[in-house]
Amino acid sequence: MPKVILATTSPYRIETFGYLGIPFNAEGSNTDESQAERNNPEELVKNLSKLKAEAIAKNHSDAIVIGMDSVGFFDGQIFEKPKSKEEDFQRLKELSGNNHQFYTGVYVVNTATNKAISKVVKTEVFMRNLSEKEINKYLDEDPHFNTYALGYDPIKHISSSFIQGIEGSYYNLLGGIPLETIVEMLTEVGYKEE
């Protein structure tokens, strides 16, 4: 059976994929993300997930490589990781009381057979109204404010209370890795449980 490789160094994605009980390795792809066009969130994550998977796949002749990329999307604007706390503060003020989308592109390739599949998963996120005090408390408490494309961590700290509800994949938002979609894609490219 080909080994499974996640093209990521994200501790959230690595931990979440581990829930499946599938043996795997993780490798960073060092992909130059600036080469991807940023007009459409679905096309962006689709292209970047493919670039990341292919960067790892070229070094393995018998592996199933999974590449992923995620962005937030609100009011016609693609959100990637905020570059400063000031940018994150403004972003959270914008998202407060509104719904936004979280997109993850997943590209799975079996290097032994060259079979590859690409999918994009969208989760709709409904935020409650946030006070400036709550936003500042989160930013002061969490040194990893830019871990997520949306600038908050849906698992830990005060920001776990920011979300009122979601529609779509729970694990897509929680770890940027839609497990239910990935399991189906692994089967499609020929992965079988030993």
Where in the sequence numbering do the catalytic residues fall? 69
CB 101 within 8 A of CB 77: no
- In what helix (H) or strand (E) does residue 50 lie, and over which residues does it extend? helix 41-57
Amino acid at 177: I
Residue 62, Ramachandran bin (φ over 0: left; ψ between -120 and 50: alpha; else beta):
beta
Burial of residue 114 (number of CB atoms within 10 Å: 0-12, 13-18, 19+): exposed
CA angle 20, 18, 53 (to 5 degrees): 95
Q: CA nearest 164: which of 154, 156, 172? A: 154
Contacts of 51 (CB under 8 A, 6+ apart): 29, 31, 33, 35, 36, 67
Q: CA nearest 72: which of 149, 161, 154? A: 149
